[in-house]
């Protein structure tokens, strides 16, 4: 029988990563991004991140069925290891036109990608690579999958802080400026002002959403301070609309 949830025990080498991921998933939802429900549970004496699978559906008899999905590396024909742009993986300028051609509601799904991109930049999610964006292959038409694997990598400064997918030519989340959003929008064939408006909308909601979610999930003071220090940098980089 297909599983209905994904369980991730917290590894010892990344402190409170389960709390980090659950907090960022819930903050993303508060910022207007579609995500699966997720919580941190205690299972058998171990803390576990639990998220509902979005690629499952029940038929009329109650049977659990799988929905086929492809991540953007697969969908664009890249080898499985090529998930980072700098390692010969897809770039956003490849992903956006492909999405427009292969989903039933391209405007809504492209907007969703831009919301997610803005949120990932705000929280310092450097690991939002091509395999962390997927398309659900449905009988009546394809759709962008809900966001998953959201994490503030900024909380772990020993790990690379270089964005897996650049915004324009910029690979450093804390240095992304309005000019980078404009360049990205132009190169991917989007309406520049629409992209800037989405970024501004998401960024206006993100600081409070992240702070509230970190508190509700019991994040440590160190984690809260580190993540919020990154998030607050967007205040001086808010696009003009």
Q: Which residues are catalytic?
A: 127
Instruction: Find out whether 97 and 189 touch, Cβ atoms under 8 Å.
Output: yes
84/148 Cα distance (integer angstroms): 17
Q: Where are the alpha helices (DSSP H) in 33-105?
A: 72-75, 92-102
pLDDT in tens, 82-122: 999 999 999 999 999 999 999 999 999 999 999 999 999 99
pLDDT at res. 205: 98
Query: CA separation (Å) from 201 to 30, 76, 174, 238?
Result: 12, 30, 18, 10
Nearest CA to 72 among 163, 7, 137, 135? 135
Looking at residue 166, what DSSP letter applies?
A: E
Average pLDDT across the chain, whole number: 95
- Residue 208: CB partners within 8 Å, gap ≥ 6? none
Instruction: Find out whether 219 and 144 touch, Cβ atoms under 8 Å.
Output: no
Answer yes or no: is pLDDT of 29 > 80: yes
pLDDT at res. 154: 97
pTM (predicted TM-score) = 0.95
**Three-class SS of residue 24?**
helix
Instruction: Find out whether 26 and 18 touch, Cβ atoms under 8 Å.
Output: no
135/137 Cα distance (integer angstroms): 6
pLDDT at res. 56: 92
10/226 Cα distance (integer angstroms): 19
- Residue 107: CB partners within 8 Å, gap ≥ 6? none
Q: How far apart are the first and last CA of the chain?
A: 49
């Amino acid at each position: 029988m297909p599983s209905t949830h994904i369980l991730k025990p917290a590894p010892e080498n990344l402190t409170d990563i389960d709390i980090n991921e659950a907090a960022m998933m819930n903050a993303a939802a508060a910022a207007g991004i579609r995500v699966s429900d997720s919580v941190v549970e205690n299972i058998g004496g171990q803390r576990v991140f639990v998220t509902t699978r979005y690629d499952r559906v029940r038929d009329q008899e109650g049977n659990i069925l799988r929905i086929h999905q492809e991540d953007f590396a697969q969908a664009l024909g890249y080898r499985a290891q090529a998930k980072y742009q700098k390692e010969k993986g897809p770039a956003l300028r490849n992903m956006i036109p492909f999405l427009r051609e292969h989903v039933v509601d391209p405007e809504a799904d492209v907007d969703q990608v831009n919301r997610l991109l803005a949120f990932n930049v705000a929280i310092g999610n450097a690991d939002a690579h091509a395999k962390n964006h997927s398309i659900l292959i449905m009988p009546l038409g394809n759709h962008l999958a809900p966001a998953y694997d959201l994490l503030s990598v900024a909380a772990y400064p020993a790990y690379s802080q270089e964005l897996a997918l650049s915004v324009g030519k910029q690979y450093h989340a804390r240095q992304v400026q309005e000019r980078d959003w404009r360049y990205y929008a132009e190169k991917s064939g989007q309406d520049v002002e629409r992209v800037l408006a989405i970024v501004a909308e998401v960024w206006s909601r993100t600081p409070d959403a992240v702070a509230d979610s970190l508190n509700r999930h019991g994040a440590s003071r160190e984690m809260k301070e580190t993540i919020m220090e990154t998030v607050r940098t967007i205040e001086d980089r808010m696009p003009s609309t």
